[in-house]
Amino acid sequence: MSIQWFPGHMVAAQKKAAETMEFTDVVIEVLDARIPGASQNPMIKELRASRQRAHLKVLNKSDLADPKITGQWINYFNKLPKTKAIAISCKKINEPKKILALCKDLALHRSTSLKPLRMMIMGVPNVGKSTLMNALLNKRIAKVGDEPAITKQQQRHQINDHMILVDTPGMMWPKIHYELDSYLLASNYAIGKNAYFEEEVAEKLGSILLELYPTLLESRYKLENLNIDSIALLEWIAKKKGFPLKNHGVDLERASATLLNDYRQGSLGRISLESPQSRAVMMSSQTHPLKKEKIEDSD
């Protein structure tokens, strides 16, 4: 069953974003580099398209993603009209600084004292928008944290006399169309924890990781058998970590939290859960047929 999460404050955020879009030159859409397709908000696409605004897609957290797959996404996005894509990690001081120059290239008629370049940062929750804004401003303005929907209101900042930056709250959309997207977003903590069961999300994540990155799981959890399903993976993690229950069972809840946290923090290694090719197949079939050999052949 698809996970849905659309808190009330996001309705107001969407309305405010539509108003601000009228006075925006470049939309900076921050995506999670591990799930660039799933972390695209269709409402942002509609708002941007209605005003025909230039578009910079920032694949943040690229230090956690599979670099080969990230390269495929960059090539894919750069083929879209009025769109430029870049992969960065906000943890690296110099990488966010590339963004302002790219925005200027997308709106050559702006960036003067008479016509300042007006940029708006948008994206789903917990992709690093506030961290990026702090990096661009070179000071801590926005509150950041490892939980979704910290920012609740727009924040407008003057970078210099010819650049203006607006940070927006993380926005989801009313109905997530593809079931897999909801699990990918929950795995990447873009959805509030009250909207899903961690065991179900961990099972889905485990099945994908067993298919795509079994050797990373083997290394992290000292697996003795890779021919297992996601339930068996969680049971193994519980046993290896010493998460027993009083009835001699294993604590799958704690094991699920361990797998999710290890993935989110990059402790498993550099992982991408979708490629442009796998996403196209998923959207046409409503399933997730991603195979490792397809990733390797989709250069």
User: How does pLDDT run along the chain (299 residues), one tens digit per residue?
Assistant: 579 888 877 888 888 888 999 999 999 999 999 999 999 999 998 888 888 899 999 999 999 999 999 999 999 999 998 899 999 999 888 888 899 999 999 998 888 888 999 999 999 999 999 889 888 888 766 555 455 545 557 888 888 889 999 988 889 998 999 999 999 999 999 999 999 999 999 999 999 999 999 999 999 999 999 999 999 999 999 999 999 887 778 899 999 999 999 999 999 999 999 999 999 999 988 654 444 444 444 43
Architecture of the domain whose range is 9-167: 3-Layer(aba) Sandwich (3.40)
Residue 254's closest CA among 239, 268, 267, 264? 239
pTM assigned to the model: 0.88
217 within 8 A of 229, measured Cβ to Cβ: no
Q: Residue with structure tokens 């370049």?
A: 117
Domains 9-167 and 197-297 belong to one CATH topology? no
Per-domain residue ranges of the chain: 9-167, 197-297
Fold adopted by 197-297? Conserved Hypothetical Protein Ylqf; Chain: A; domain 2 (1.10.1580)
25 within 8 A of 53, measured Cβ to Cβ: yes
Span between the terminal Cα atoms of the chain, in Å: 33
